């Protein structure tokens, strides 16, 4: 039976056990031997990181060929309208690749959202909005690059779900184990 860890990765933590420079590693939050991250989140992104001790399961979760949907909550600078979001629904050219179409919608700030440490920059003259975005790929800094491409840079990015697994009520640094 495989072990599966659902971890709410805080801001400033790498998706590896070893810390580097100013960033913490997973070992600063998890003391579960023999598990490895199935995919990654940048240090400046938060939310669901899945770890497992099962190599084939790790590959199935992380490999874009399996097209597991990944859902993110992105707080963006500015307030996009539906027409602004339409390019993301069709796919956008980021220079090195064209994204697959994304499912997305404007949302209110997610319920139960924890404060980020450090907080995002606040500018009274520039409003922000939240977008829920689901993609079936996950290239380096993809969501941030997508929102910037349409003129709404991401200020805060939280992964809420990967496939059937969700963040649920886990707070930053909390984790729960499942057996699959």
Distances from the Cα of 18 to the Cαs of 13, 22, 142, 152, 171, in angstroms?
A: 10, 12, 24, 33, 22
Q: What is the pLDDT of residues 87-138, one digit of tens each?
A: 999 999 999 999 999 999 999 999 999 998 888 877 777 899 999 999 998 7
Residues forming a β-bridge with 24 = 13
- pLDDT of 179 > 80? The answer is no
- The boundaries of every CATH 3.30.70.1560 domain in the chain are 69-162
User: Which one of 1.10.287.130, 1.10.3720.10, 3.30.980.10, 3.30.70.1560 gives the CATH number of domain 69-162?
Assistant: 3.30.70.1560
Known catalytic membership, residue 42: yes
Q: HSE of 141 in the Cβ direction (CA atoms, 13 Å)?
A: 11
Q: Cα–Cα distance between 29 and 2 in angstroms, integer?
A: 21
CB 12 within 8 A of CB 177: no
Q: What are phi and psi of 144, to 5 degrees?
A: -60, -45
- The boundaries of every CATH 3.30.70.580 domain in the chain are 3-64+168-179
- Structure tokens belonging to residue 59: 């590959």
Q: Which of 28, 42, 44, 54 is the catalytic position?
A: 42
- Residue closest to 62 by CA, chosen among 38, 45, 37: 38
CB proximity list for 3: less than 8 A, separation 6 or greater: 32, 34, 35, 52, 53, 54, 177, 178, 179
Q: What is the pLDDT of residues 33-67, one digit of tens each?
A: 899 999 899 999 999 999 999 989 898 888 877 77
CB 155 within 8 A of CB 77: yes
pLDDT band of 173, cuts 50, 70, 90: very high
The pTM for the full model equals: 0.94
Q: Cα–Cα distance between 130 and 152 in angstroms, integer?
A: 11
Strand pairing class (154-162; 165-166): antiparallel
Q: What is the pLDDT of residues 147-160, one digit of tens each?
A: 999 999 999 999 99
Q: What is the pLDDT of residues 110-120, one digit of tens each?
A: 999 999 888 88
Write the class of the CATH domain 3-64+168-179.
Answer: alpha beta
């Amino acid at each position: 039976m495989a072990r599966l860890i659902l971890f709410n990765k805080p801001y400033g933590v790498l998706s590896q056990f070893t810390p580097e420079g100013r960033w913490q590693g997973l070992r600063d939050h998890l003391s579960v031997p023999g598990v490895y991250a199935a995919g990654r989140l940048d240090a400046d992104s938060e939310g669901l990181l899945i770890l497992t001790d099962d190599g084939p399961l790790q590959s199935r979760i992380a490999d874009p060929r399996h097209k597991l949907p990944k859902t993110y909550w992105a707080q963006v600078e500015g307030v996009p309208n539906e027409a602004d979001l339409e390019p993301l629904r069709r796919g956008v050219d980021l220079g090195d690749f064209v994204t697959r179409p994304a499912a997305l919608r404007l949302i209110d700030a997610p319920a139960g959202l924890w404060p980020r440490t450090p907080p995002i920059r606040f500018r009274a003259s520039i409003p922000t909005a939240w977008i829920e975005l689901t993609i079936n790929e996950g290239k380096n800094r993809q969501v941030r690059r997508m929102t910037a491409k349409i003129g709404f840079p991401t200020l805060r990015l939280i992964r809420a779900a990967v496939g059937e697994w969700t963040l649920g009520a886990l707070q930053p640094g909390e984790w729960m184990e499942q057996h699959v």
